[in-house]
Amino acid sequence: MSVAVQVEVLPHGEGLPLPAYATAGASGADVCAAVQEDVVIPPGGRVAIPTGLRFAIPAGYEVQVRPRSGLALAFGVTVANAPGTVDSDYRGELKVILVNLGSQPFTVRRGDRVAQLVLAPVLRAVFLPAEGLPETARGVGGFGSTGV
């Protein structure tokens, strides 16, 4: 199934490809950095990387910004707020917050694939006040309560 998403290319994004799926079975479309000059992210640092793109996401959908596994494995670079959410009513430029969890500085160059975008349907909850909740086998067990 395909859903049309309008994309506006900003002046600093001209010449870069639109988000694209690398393979026929890919869930995420790679998005590129629209930096004007190289950006170095030091170990432990984070930077909002511009993409030069604005989106008109259809109502009832979001775009999730997810890390690229190759960057995470090879360099320790990931998306800081993964998955980031781009709401359907947001019309600003998409920026990817990259964080360097590695031990070496990481350089982002113009056109580098920095994240992947996944279009996803959104269900809206109706939050209702309750005096109590139904019991479950897990109960109030939190972090680590189901074992390792």
Neighbours of 93 (CB within 10 A): 17
Identify the pLDDT of residue 145.
Answer: 77
Average pLDDT over every residue of 3-12: 98
**pLDDT bracket for residue 139 (50, 70, 90):** confident
Contact 54, 92 (CB under 8 A): yes
The CATH H-level (homologous superfamily) assignment of domain 6-121 is: Deoxyuridine triphosphatase (dUTPase) (2.70.40.10)
Contact 83, 8 (CB under 8 A): no
Cα–Cα distance for residue pair 135/82, rounded to 1 Å: 31
**pLDDT bracket for residue 28 (50, 70, 90):** very high
Domains of the chain, by residue range, sit at 6-121
Convert the pLDDT of each residue in 38-93 to its tens digit: 999 999 999 999 999 999 999 999 999 999 999 999 999 999 999 999 999 999 99
Neighbours of 56 (CB within 10 A): 13
Cα–Cα distance for residue pair 57/4, rounded to 1 Å: 8
